[in-house]
Amino acid sequence: MHHHHAHGHAPAGLTGSLIADHETILTALERLELRLGDMKRRGVVDVETVNKFLVFARSFIDRCHHGKEERCLFPCLERRGIPREGGPIGVMLYEHELGRKLVRELDGLLKSYSEGKTGPEAVFNKCEEYIQLLRQHIAKENNVLFPAGESVAESEDVREVTECYEAIEGKEVGHEVHEELERLAKEL
Ligand SMILES: [Fe+2]
Ligand SMILES: [Fe+2]
């Protein structure tokens, strides 16, 4: 008999679902980095690949994953006494904004590259800036903020936050699209 939950697995704790998202995001970043290596050797941007990555960055990383953090986890951590202003949550929010800005800039560069107005280097550099930002951001969450959150969470927080994650995934991308995006991350 094959048992499975509504969508695959339900990772445990306050941050298990977010850590699983991080694994998917890190896979996508690794794939993009590999593809960038090929592009650099050839001296051309593979516009389709970078566009696919942009779709993933906007939907999975930003709307869904950052949505789960900003609307579910961070408010819960604040209620349990982890500070926002001048604290780790403020830094995470700032980096989410930075990520949005880099995605907009990458989108613009890709368009002007397609029109022959920008060389490939600017696109490569912007991709690398984004990869670096996300990797160090994820490391801070996994190693510092999330363990701190787990240590202050009460059992009712886990239930509430998990429901909130489900609602965001369902509303922002839909559960099926969420799984599709997980596949896309591996196929970039
Ligand atoms: Fe984050
Ligand atoms: Fe995150």
Cα-to-centroid distance, 73 and ligand 1 (Å): 10
Tell how far the Cα of 8 is from the centroid of ligand 1, in angstroms: 23
> In this predicted model, what pLDDT tens digit does every residue of 125-167 receive, in sequence order?
999 999 999 999 999 999 999 999 999 999 899 999 999 999 9
CATH class, domain 16-187, is: mainly alpha
Share of the chain above pLDDT 70, in %: 94
Measured in angstroms, how far is the CA atom of residue 92 from the centroid of ligand 1?
6
| b/e map 104-121, b = 16+ CB within 10 Å | eebeebbeebeeeebebe
Residue spans per domain, the chain: 16-187
Give pLDDT tens digits for 65-104: 999 999 999 999 999 999 888 889 999 999 999 999 999 9
Single pTM value for the model: 0.91
Q: How many angstroms separate the alpha carbon of residue 69 from the centre of ligand 2?
A: 7
Tell me the two tokens of residue 167: 């609602």
- pLDDT at residue 6 in the model: 44
Residue 3 has pLDDT above 60, yes or no: no
**pLDDT value of position 33:** 97
pLDDT at residue number 9:
54
Which ligand has the nearest atom to the CA of 142?
Answer: 2
- C-beta separation of 84 from 78 below 8 A: yes
The ligand whose atoms approach the alpha carbon of 91 most closely is: 1
| CA distance readout (Å), 18 to 3, 47, 104, 186 | 23, 29, 24, 18
CA 101 – CA 14 distance, rounded (Å): 28
Q: Residue 39 C-alpha to ligand 1 middle, in angstroms?
A: 28
**Phi, psi angle pair for 5, to nearest 5°:** -75, 180
Dump pLDDT digits (tens) for 25-71: 999 999 999 999 999 999 999 999 999 999 999 999 999 999 999 99
